[in-house]
Amino acid sequence: MKRTEKCHRLSTYERRRPTTPRSARTVTTPQGLRHRAMKAFIDAHYKMMDINNDGLVSIEEYRYNCITRIAVDDIKVVDDSYNNLVSEEDNKRGGITLERYQELYSHFLGNENPKCPAIYLYGPIPE
Ligand SMILES: [Ca+2]
């Protein structure tokens, strides 16, 4: 191997090296990885719902998300779901923020109350 070729390989290696210092890269536990993956999933779903990217999921965006996934005969059923899902605060803001969505999602997964508003996170509940 010629000296110049070796130098080239070293510089390629240098370019591929992570820029984050080793001390800043944390060792993550399986629970931590699951938590990060779940958070990424929830955040990605929220971004998909927030079509105009204004940081709020409005009733129109909720409707659109529902009708692209489930067959709906009457849009009123979807609107009723949205109105059951959101709080007064959400309505004052004009929709669901990411933080609120994360909260609702945690209720969706962990709350065993069948009347919990978060049951409407994915749309109307089939009768
Ligand atoms: Ca929006």
The DSSP call for residue 95 is S
Query: Which CATH number do you get for residue 75?
Result: 1.10.238.10
Record the tokens describing residue 31, joined without a space. 């629970």
What is the number of other CB atoms lying within 10 angstroms of the CB of residue 29?
9
> In the predicted model, what is the mean pLDDT of the chain?
86
| 23 assigned to some structural domain | no
| 15 assigned to some structural domain | no
Cα dihedral value 66, 71, 75, 81, nearest 10: -50
| 8 assigned to some structural domain | no
Q: Measure 25 CA to ligand 1 centroid, in angstroms.
A: 34
| 42 assigned to some structural domain | yes
The owner of tokens 């779901």 is 81
| 98 assigned to some structural domain | yes
**Residue range(s) defining the domain that contains residue 46:** 31-120
pTM, full prediction: 0.74
Q: Measure 11 CA to ligand 1 centroid, in angstroms.
A: 45
Of 3-7, 17-21, 29-33, 76-80, the range with the lowest mean pLDDT is 3-7
Report the number of distinct structural domains present in the chain: 1
Instruction: Return the bridge partners of 96, or none.
Output: 57
| 37 assigned to some structural domain | yes
Q: Measure 36 CA to ligand 1 centroid, in angstroms.
A: 24
